[in-house]
Amino acid sequence: MHRLIVLLGMTLLLAGCQTDLPLAGLKAQYGAPPSRYLPMDGVEVHWRDEGLGSKPLEDSPTLATAGTSTAVPTANTPSPTAPASAATPTAASTANAGMPSGASAFPPPAKPAAVATPDDAPTILLLHGTASSLHTWEGWVKAMSPSWRVVRLDLPGFGLTGPYPSGDYSPAATVDFLERFADAAGLKRFVIAGSSLGGQAAWRYALRRPDRISGLILIDATGYPQNLSTSTAVALQIASMPVISELMRWAPIDGMVSRSLKDVYVDDTLVTPELVSRYADLMRRPGNRVALGDRARNAPPSTGWEQLRQLKVPTLIMWGGQDTWVPLSMGERFKIDIADSELIVYPNLGHLPMEEDPVTTARDALDFLRRRVQSASPGTPVSPASSAGTMRKSPAPTTPTQK
Protein backbone atom coordinates (compact mmCIF):
# COMPACT_ATOMS: atom_id res chain seq x y z
CA MET A 1 0.00 0.00 0.00
CA HIS A 2 2.80 2.41 0.91
CA ARG A 3 4.52 1.67 -2.40
CA LEU A 4 1.28 2.34 -4.27
CA ILE A 5 0.90 5.75 -2.62
CA VAL A 6 4.52 6.67 -3.35
CA LEU A 7 4.14 5.52 -6.97
CA LEU A 8 1.00 7.58 -7.46
CA GLY A 9 2.66 10.60 -5.86
CA MET A 10 5.66 10.29 -8.18
CA THR A 11 3.33 9.94 -11.15
CA LEU A 12 1.60 13.19 -10.19
CA LEU A 13 4.96 14.96 -9.94
CA LEU A 14 6.11 13.69 -13.33
CA ALA A 15 2.87 14.00 -15.25
CA GLY A 16 1.61 17.18 -13.62
CA CYS A 17 -1.55 17.71 -11.60
CA GLN A 18 -5.00 18.30 -13.05
CA THR A 19 -7.01 20.44 -10.71
CA ASP A 20 -10.77 20.88 -10.76
CA LEU A 21 -12.27 23.19 -13.37
CA PRO A 22 -14.29 26.30 -12.39
CA LEU A 23 -17.99 25.46 -12.13
CA ALA A 24 -19.06 28.66 -13.89
CA GLY A 25 -17.04 27.76 -16.97
CA LEU A 26 -18.39 24.20 -17.00
CA LYS A 27 -21.97 25.49 -16.79
CA ALA A 28 -21.35 27.82 -19.71
CA GLN A 29 -19.78 24.96 -21.65
CA TYR A 30 -22.14 22.08 -20.90
CA GLY A 31 -25.10 23.56 -19.04
CA ALA A 32 -26.49 26.41 -21.13
CA PRO A 33 -30.20 26.35 -22.09
CA PRO A 34 -32.10 24.09 -22.43
CA SER A 35 -30.40 23.11 -19.17
CA ARG A 36 -32.18 23.86 -15.91
CA TYR A 37 -31.03 23.84 -12.29
CA LEU A 38 -33.19 22.56 -9.47
CA PRO A 39 -32.07 23.38 -5.89
CA MET A 40 -32.70 20.17 -3.96
CA ASP A 41 -31.02 18.17 -1.19
CA GLY A 42 -28.21 20.71 -0.84
CA VAL A 43 -27.20 20.60 -4.51
CA GLU A 44 -28.33 22.20 -7.75
CA VAL A 45 -29.60 19.34 -9.89
CA HIS A 46 -28.68 19.82 -13.54
CA TRP A 47 -31.56 18.60 -15.72
CA ARG A 48 -33.33 19.10 -19.01
CA ASP A 49 -37.00 18.91 -19.96
CA GLU A 50 -37.44 18.59 -23.72
CA GLY A 51 -39.80 17.38 -26.39
CA LEU A 52 -43.57 17.10 -26.69
CA GLY A 53 -45.32 18.86 -23.82
CA SER A 54 -42.13 19.84 -21.99
CA LYS A 55 -42.38 22.66 -19.49
CA PRO A 56 -41.15 26.10 -20.60
CA LEU A 57 -37.89 27.17 -18.99
CA GLU A 58 -39.66 29.87 -16.99
CA ASP A 59 -41.86 27.18 -15.44
CA SER A 60 -38.93 25.24 -14.00
CA PRO A 61 -39.53 24.16 -10.38
CA THR A 62 -38.07 26.41 -7.74
CA LEU A 63 -36.70 25.83 -4.27
CA ALA A 64 -40.22 25.92 -2.84
CA THR A 65 -41.62 23.31 -5.24
CA ALA A 66 -38.60 21.09 -4.60
CA GLY A 67 -39.67 20.82 -0.98
CA THR A 68 -36.29 21.40 0.63
CA SER A 69 -34.81 24.02 2.88
CA THR A 70 -31.19 22.90 2.77
CA ALA A 71 -30.24 24.04 -0.71
CA VAL A 72 -28.47 27.32 -1.36
CA PRO A 73 -30.44 29.02 -4.12
CA THR A 74 -28.50 30.45 -7.04
CA ALA A 75 -29.50 31.83 -10.40
CA ASN A 76 -31.31 29.38 -12.65
CA THR A 77 -29.55 30.72 -15.71
CA PRO A 78 -25.85 29.85 -16.06
CA SER A 79 -23.45 32.75 -16.27
CA PRO A 80 -22.88 33.92 -19.86
CA THR A 81 -19.29 34.61 -19.02
CA ALA A 82 -16.48 32.14 -19.54
CA PRO A 83 -17.36 31.28 -23.17
CA ALA A 84 -16.19 27.97 -24.59
CA SER A 85 -12.80 28.01 -26.21
CA ALA A 86 -12.30 26.76 -29.73
CA ALA A 87 -10.30 23.83 -28.42
CA THR A 88 -13.05 22.60 -26.08
CA PRO A 89 -16.35 21.23 -27.43
CA THR A 90 -19.64 22.83 -26.59
CA ALA A 91 -22.65 20.80 -25.63
CA ALA A 92 -24.07 21.38 -29.09
CA SER A 93 -20.88 20.36 -30.88
CA THR A 94 -20.79 17.06 -28.98
CA ALA A 95 -24.42 16.19 -29.64
CA ASN A 96 -23.47 13.64 -32.29
CA ALA A 97 -20.25 12.45 -30.63
CA GLY A 98 -21.47 8.88 -30.12
CA MET A 99 -23.40 8.56 -33.41
CA PRO A 100 -22.18 6.49 -36.33
CA SER A 101 -21.00 8.43 -39.35
CA GLY A 102 -23.84 9.64 -41.54
CA ALA A 103 -26.54 8.90 -38.95
CA SER A 104 -26.67 12.17 -37.04
CA ALA A 105 -30.16 13.34 -37.95
CA PHE A 106 -33.62 11.89 -37.50
CA PRO A 107 -36.38 12.75 -40.02
CA PRO A 108 -38.89 15.15 -38.48
CA PRO A 109 -42.28 13.44 -37.98
CA ALA A 110 -45.61 15.07 -38.62
CA LYS A 111 -46.76 17.50 -35.95
CA PRO A 112 -49.52 16.23 -33.65
CA ALA A 113 -53.00 17.60 -34.11
CA ALA A 114 -53.07 18.94 -30.55
CA VAL A 115 -50.27 20.31 -28.42
CA ALA A 116 -49.69 18.06 -25.43
CA THR A 117 -49.13 19.52 -22.00
CA PRO A 118 -46.69 18.17 -19.39
CA ASP A 119 -49.67 16.58 -17.64
CA ASP A 120 -50.84 14.45 -20.58
CA ALA A 121 -47.74 13.97 -22.77
CA PRO A 122 -46.13 10.52 -22.60
CA THR A 123 -43.00 11.00 -20.50
CA ILE A 124 -39.69 9.19 -20.22
CA LEU A 125 -37.00 9.80 -17.59
CA LEU A 126 -33.42 8.94 -18.67
CA LEU A 127 -30.71 8.00 -16.15
CA HIS A 128 -27.00 7.83 -17.05
CA GLY A 129 -24.29 5.59 -15.62
CA THR A 130 -21.08 5.99 -13.61
CA ALA A 131 -18.90 9.02 -14.44
CA SER A 132 -21.33 10.01 -17.19
CA SER A 133 -23.91 12.79 -17.56
CA LEU A 134 -27.20 13.64 -19.20
CA HIS A 135 -25.29 14.25 -22.45
CA THR A 136 -25.05 10.49 -22.97
CA TRP A 137 -28.66 10.59 -24.19
CA GLU A 138 -28.32 13.19 -26.97
CA GLY A 139 -29.17 10.74 -29.76
CA TRP A 140 -32.22 9.39 -27.94
CA VAL A 141 -33.51 12.89 -27.20
CA LYS A 142 -33.38 13.75 -30.90
CA ALA A 143 -35.35 10.64 -31.78
CA MET A 144 -37.90 10.77 -28.96
CA SER A 145 -38.64 14.45 -28.44
CA PRO A 146 -41.09 14.78 -31.37
CA SER A 147 -43.47 12.31 -29.70
CA TRP A 148 -42.38 12.16 -26.04
CA ARG A 149 -41.63 14.48 -23.18
CA VAL A 150 -37.99 13.60 -22.44
CA VAL A 151 -36.56 14.40 -19.00
CA ARG A 152 -32.90 13.70 -18.14
CA LEU A 153 -30.61 14.76 -15.33
CA ASP A 154 -27.12 14.51 -13.89
CA LEU A 155 -27.30 12.16 -10.91
CA PRO A 156 -25.64 13.31 -7.65
CA GLY A 157 -21.85 13.04 -7.79
CA PHE A 158 -21.75 13.30 -11.58
CA GLY A 159 -21.95 15.94 -14.29
CA LEU A 160 -22.88 19.48 -13.27
CA THR A 161 -25.02 18.37 -10.32
CA GLY A 162 -21.93 17.57 -8.27
CA PRO A 163 -21.49 15.83 -4.94
CA TYR A 164 -24.01 15.25 -2.19
CA PRO A 165 -23.14 17.13 1.03
CA SER A 166 -24.05 13.95 2.95
CA GLY A 167 -21.84 11.74 0.80
CA ASP A 168 -24.59 9.08 0.77
CA TYR A 169 -24.68 7.46 -2.66
CA SER A 170 -26.32 4.22 -1.59
CA PRO A 171 -28.99 2.66 -3.84
CA ALA A 172 -31.69 3.56 -1.31
CA ALA A 173 -30.54 7.20 -1.16
CA THR A 174 -30.56 7.36 -4.97
CA VAL A 175 -34.14 6.07 -5.13
CA ASP A 176 -35.16 8.61 -2.46
CA PHE A 177 -33.53 11.34 -4.54
CA LEU A 178 -35.36 10.23 -7.70
CA GLU A 179 -38.67 10.29 -5.84
CA ARG A 180 -38.14 13.89 -4.77
CA PHE A 181 -36.91 14.87 -8.22
CA ALA A 182 -39.93 13.30 -9.93
CA ASP A 183 -42.24 15.22 -7.61
CA ALA A 184 -40.44 18.51 -8.22
CA ALA A 185 -40.33 18.01 -12.00
CA GLY A 186 -44.04 17.22 -12.10
CA LEU A 187 -43.62 13.63 -13.29
CA LYS A 188 -46.78 11.69 -12.48
CA ARG A 189 -46.68 8.45 -14.45
CA PHE A 190 -43.71 7.84 -16.72
CA VAL A 191 -41.32 5.41 -18.34
CA ILE A 192 -37.93 5.15 -16.66
CA ALA A 193 -34.81 4.13 -18.60
CA GLY A 194 -31.28 3.74 -17.35
CA SER A 195 -27.83 2.78 -18.52
CA SER A 196 -25.42 0.79 -16.32
CA LEU A 197 -25.63 2.31 -12.81
CA GLY A 198 -28.62 4.34 -14.01
CA GLY A 199 -30.27 1.07 -15.02
CA GLN A 200 -29.91 -0.20 -11.47
CA ALA A 201 -31.47 3.01 -10.16
CA ALA A 202 -34.30 2.57 -12.68
CA TRP A 203 -35.27 -0.97 -11.68
CA ARG A 204 -34.98 -0.14 -7.99
CA TYR A 205 -37.28 2.85 -8.46
CA ALA A 206 -39.74 0.69 -10.41
CA LEU A 207 -39.82 -1.73 -7.48
CA ARG A 208 -40.37 1.12 -5.02
CA ARG A 209 -43.06 2.95 -7.04
CA PRO A 210 -44.71 0.61 -9.56
CA ASP A 211 -47.77 2.89 -9.48
CA ARG A 212 -45.78 5.67 -11.16
CA ILE A 213 -43.96 3.56 -13.76
CA SER A 214 -45.61 2.70 -17.08
CA GLY A 215 -42.52 1.13 -18.64
CA LEU A 216 -38.92 0.18 -17.84
CA ILE A 217 -35.87 0.14 -20.14
CA LEU A 218 -32.61 -1.37 -18.89
CA ILE A 219 -29.43 -0.83 -20.90
CA ASP A 220 -26.46 -2.95 -19.77
CA ALA A 221 -27.77 -2.41 -16.25
CA THR A 222 -25.98 -3.31 -13.04
CA GLY A 223 -27.37 -4.76 -9.83
CA TYR A 224 -26.51 -8.45 -9.82
CA PRO A 225 -23.42 -9.70 -7.96
CA GLN A 226 -20.54 -10.10 -10.40
CA ASN A 227 -16.77 -10.41 -10.43
CA LEU A 228 -15.14 -7.15 -11.51
CA SER A 229 -12.01 -7.85 -13.51
CA THR A 230 -11.66 -5.00 -15.99
CA SER A 231 -8.91 -2.42 -15.61
CA THR A 232 -11.48 0.25 -14.80
CA ALA A 233 -13.06 -1.90 -12.09
CA VAL A 234 -9.62 -2.32 -10.53
CA ALA A 235 -9.12 1.46 -10.73
CA LEU A 236 -12.43 2.01 -8.92
CA GLN A 237 -11.36 -0.39 -6.19
CA ILE A 238 -8.07 1.51 -5.81
CA ALA A 239 -9.95 4.82 -5.79
CA SER A 240 -12.01 3.58 -2.85
CA MET A 241 -8.91 3.64 -0.62
CA PRO A 242 -9.06 6.89 1.43
CA VAL A 243 -5.50 8.13 0.80
CA ILE A 244 -5.60 7.12 -2.87
CA SER A 245 -8.98 8.80 -3.22
CA GLU A 246 -7.48 12.05 -1.92
CA LEU A 247 -4.53 11.86 -4.32
CA MET A 248 -6.88 11.14 -7.23
CA ARG A 249 -8.26 14.66 -6.82
CA TRP A 250 -5.10 15.88 -8.55
CA ALA A 251 -4.38 13.03 -10.95
CA PRO A 252 -4.38 13.60 -14.72
CA ILE A 253 -7.49 11.85 -15.99
CA ASP A 254 -7.65 12.42 -19.76
CA GLY A 255 -5.69 9.25 -20.51
CA MET A 256 -7.77 7.21 -18.08
CA VAL A 257 -11.01 8.54 -19.59
CA SER A 258 -9.83 7.74 -23.12
CA ARG A 259 -8.88 4.18 -22.16
CA SER A 260 -12.18 3.66 -20.34
CA LEU A 261 -14.22 4.87 -23.30
CA LYS A 262 -12.32 2.55 -25.61
CA ASP A 263 -13.18 -0.26 -23.20
CA VAL A 264 -16.90 0.46 -23.44
CA TYR A 265 -17.04 1.27 -27.17
CA VAL A 266 -16.38 -1.46 -29.71
CA ASP A 267 -15.54 1.03 -32.48
CA ASP A 268 -12.61 3.03 -31.17
CA THR A 269 -12.95 5.54 -34.00
CA LEU A 270 -16.07 6.86 -32.27
CA VAL A 271 -14.01 7.81 -29.21
CA THR A 272 -13.24 11.30 -30.49
CA PRO A 273 -11.21 13.98 -28.71
CA GLU A 274 -14.46 15.88 -28.18
CA LEU A 275 -16.09 12.90 -26.47
CA VAL A 276 -13.05 12.37 -24.23
CA SER A 277 -12.97 16.09 -23.35
CA ARG A 278 -16.62 16.12 -22.35
CA TYR A 279 -16.29 13.15 -20.03
CA ALA A 280 -12.99 14.39 -18.56
CA ASP A 281 -14.16 17.98 -18.10
CA LEU A 282 -17.28 16.95 -16.21
CA MET A 283 -15.25 14.60 -14.01
CA ARG A 284 -13.21 17.69 -13.09
CA ARG A 285 -16.30 19.47 -11.82
CA PRO A 286 -15.37 20.46 -8.23
CA GLY A 287 -16.09 17.54 -5.93
CA ASN A 288 -16.86 14.88 -8.55
CA ARG A 289 -13.60 12.97 -8.23
CA VAL A 290 -13.96 12.88 -4.45
CA ALA A 291 -17.57 11.71 -4.86
CA LEU A 292 -16.43 8.88 -7.14
CA GLY A 293 -14.09 7.66 -4.40
CA ASP A 294 -16.83 8.02 -1.77
CA ARG A 295 -19.23 6.03 -3.94
CA ALA A 296 -16.70 3.23 -4.53
CA ARG A 297 -15.66 3.14 -0.87
CA ASN A 298 -19.20 2.92 0.49
CA ALA A 299 -20.74 0.67 -2.15
CA PRO A 300 -22.89 -1.95 -0.38
CA PRO A 301 -23.07 -5.60 -1.47
CA SER A 302 -25.45 -6.23 -4.37
CA THR A 303 -28.88 -6.86 -2.88
CA GLY A 304 -32.46 -6.25 -3.93
CA TRP A 305 -32.22 -8.14 -7.20
CA GLU A 306 -34.09 -10.97 -5.51
CA GLN A 307 -37.22 -8.81 -5.74
CA LEU A 308 -37.06 -8.40 -9.53
CA ARG A 309 -39.59 -11.20 -9.98
CA GLN A 310 -42.15 -8.90 -8.36
CA LEU A 311 -41.97 -6.42 -11.24
CA LYS A 312 -45.15 -6.34 -13.33
CA VAL A 313 -44.23 -3.51 -15.71
CA PRO A 314 -43.51 -3.72 -19.46
CA THR A 315 -39.73 -4.04 -19.61
CA LEU A 316 -37.20 -3.81 -22.44
CA ILE A 317 -33.66 -5.06 -21.81
CA MET A 318 -31.02 -3.82 -24.27
CA TRP A 319 -27.49 -5.20 -24.22
CA GLY A 320 -24.23 -4.77 -26.08
CA GLY A 321 -23.06 -8.23 -27.05
CA GLN A 322 -19.42 -7.19 -26.55
CA ASP A 323 -19.87 -5.54 -23.16
CA THR A 324 -16.78 -6.41 -21.11
CA TRP A 325 -17.92 -4.46 -18.03
CA VAL A 326 -21.34 -6.01 -17.44
CA PRO A 327 -21.50 -9.21 -19.50
CA LEU A 328 -24.48 -10.39 -21.51
CA SER A 329 -25.13 -13.11 -18.92
CA MET A 330 -26.41 -10.33 -16.64
CA GLY A 331 -28.89 -9.23 -19.31
CA GLU A 332 -30.06 -12.80 -19.66
CA ARG A 333 -30.65 -12.93 -15.89
CA PHE A 334 -32.83 -9.81 -16.09
CA LYS A 335 -34.78 -11.49 -18.91
CA ILE A 336 -35.42 -14.54 -16.70
CA ASP A 337 -36.25 -12.63 -13.52
CA ILE A 338 -38.55 -9.94 -14.98
CA ALA A 339 -41.76 -11.50 -16.23
CA ASP A 340 -42.94 -10.68 -19.75
CA SER A 341 -39.74 -8.73 -20.53
CA GLU A 342 -38.00 -8.41 -23.89
CA LEU A 343 -34.27 -8.68 -24.56
CA ILE A 344 -32.49 -7.16 -27.56
CA VAL A 345 -28.80 -7.96 -28.05
CA TYR A 346 -26.55 -5.82 -30.27
CA PRO A 347 -23.68 -8.13 -31.29
CA ASN A 348 -21.30 -5.37 -32.41
CA LEU A 349 -21.84 -2.92 -29.56
CA GLY A 350 -20.34 -2.59 -26.08
CA HIS A 351 -21.37 -1.20 -22.71
CA LEU A 352 -22.96 2.01 -24.04
CA PRO A 353 -25.11 0.95 -27.00
CA MET A 354 -27.28 4.07 -26.81
CA GLU A 355 -24.16 6.20 -27.34
CA GLU A 356 -22.38 3.98 -29.84
CA ASP A 357 -25.46 3.48 -32.03
CA PRO A 358 -28.20 5.89 -30.91
CA VAL A 359 -30.12 5.54 -34.19
CA THR A 360 -30.78 1.80 -33.93
CA THR A 361 -31.25 1.69 -30.16
CA ALA A 362 -33.63 4.66 -30.09
CA ARG A 363 -35.67 3.15 -32.91
CA ASP A 364 -35.98 -0.12 -30.99
CA ALA A 365 -36.91 1.71 -27.79
CA LEU A 366 -39.62 3.72 -29.57
CA ASP A 367 -41.00 0.55 -31.14
CA PHE A 368 -41.19 -1.07 -27.70
CA LEU A 369 -42.89 2.00 -26.23
CA ARG A 370 -45.43 2.07 -29.02
CA ARG A 371 -46.27 -1.64 -28.69
CA ARG A 372 -46.07 -2.17 -24.95
CA VAL A 373 -46.72 1.20 -23.32
CA GLN A 374 -48.63 3.62 -25.53
CA SER A 375 -51.03 0.95 -26.75
CA ALA A 376 -51.81 -0.12 -23.19
CA SER A 377 -55.23 1.13 -22.13
CA PRO A 378 -58.20 -0.49 -20.37
CA GLY A 379 -59.65 -3.17 -22.60
CA THR A 380 -56.87 -2.94 -25.20
CA PRO A 381 -54.68 -6.02 -25.63
CA VAL A 382 -50.96 -5.36 -25.43
CA SER A 383 -48.48 -7.07 -27.72
CA PRO A 384 -46.85 -9.85 -25.72
CA ALA A 385 -43.12 -10.02 -25.21
CA SER A 386 -41.21 -12.61 -27.16
CA SER A 387 -40.12 -15.60 -25.14
CA ALA A 388 -36.58 -15.45 -26.50
CA GLY A 389 -34.17 -12.57 -26.88
CA THR A 390 -33.76 -10.74 -30.18
CA MET A 391 -30.42 -10.38 -31.92
CA ARG A 392 -30.32 -6.97 -33.53
CA LYS A 393 -27.93 -6.01 -36.27
CA SER A 394 -25.63 -3.15 -35.36
CA PRO A 395 -22.94 -1.44 -37.39
CA ALA A 396 -19.67 -3.35 -37.51
CA PRO A 397 -16.63 -1.39 -36.34
CA THR A 398 -15.12 0.57 -39.19
CA THR A 399 -11.68 -0.32 -37.89
CA PRO A 400 -11.54 -3.73 -36.20
CA THR A 401 -9.94 -3.51 -32.78
CA GLN A 402 -8.64 -6.20 -30.51
CA LYS A 403 -10.33 -6.18 -27.10
Convert the pLDDT of each residue in 193-239 to its tens digit. Answer: 999 999 999 999 999 999 999 999 999 999 999 876 554 455 555 55
* Residue 20: pLDDT band with limits 50, 70, 90: very high
Higher pLDDT, 127 or 116: 127
Answer whether residue 79 shows pLDDT above 60: no
- Dihedral pair phi/psi, residue 345, rounded to 5°: -110, 135
Q: What is residue 252's predicted lDDT score, i.e. its pLDDT?
A: 79
Task: Name residues whose C-beta falls within 8 Å of residue 129's C-beta, 6 or more positions apart in sequence.
Answer: 136, 194, 195, 196, 197, 198, 199, 352
Q: What is residue 229's predicted lDDT score, i.e. its pLDDT?
A: 55
Convert the pLDDT of each residue in 286-308 to its tens digit. Answer: 999 989 888 877 767 778 999 99
Higher pLDDT, 32 or 294: 32
Q: What percent of the chain has pLDDT over 90?
A: 58
Q: What is residue 87's predicted lDDT score, i.e. its pLDDT?
A: 36
Q: What percent of the chain has pLDDT over 70?
A: 69
Q: What is residue 192's predicted lDDT score, i.e. its pLDDT?
A: 98
Convert the pLDDT of each residue in 308-344 to its tens digit. Answer: 999 999 999 999 999 999 999 999 999 999 998 999 9
Q: What is residue 306's predicted lDDT score, i.e. its pLDDT?
A: 95
What average pLDDT does the segment 57-62 reach? Answer: 71
Q: What is residue 234's predicted lDDT score, i.e. its pLDDT?
A: 52
Answer whether residue 25 shows pLDDT above 70: yes
Answer whether residue 124 shows pLDDT above 70: yes
Convert the pLDDT of each residue in 354-395 to its tens digit. Answer: 999 999 999 999 999 999 999 875 444 445 555 456 776 555
Answer whether residue 263 shows pLDDT above 60: yes
- Its pTM stands at 0.79
Answer whether residue 11 shows pLDDT above 60: no
Answer whether residue 270 shows pLDDT above 80: yes
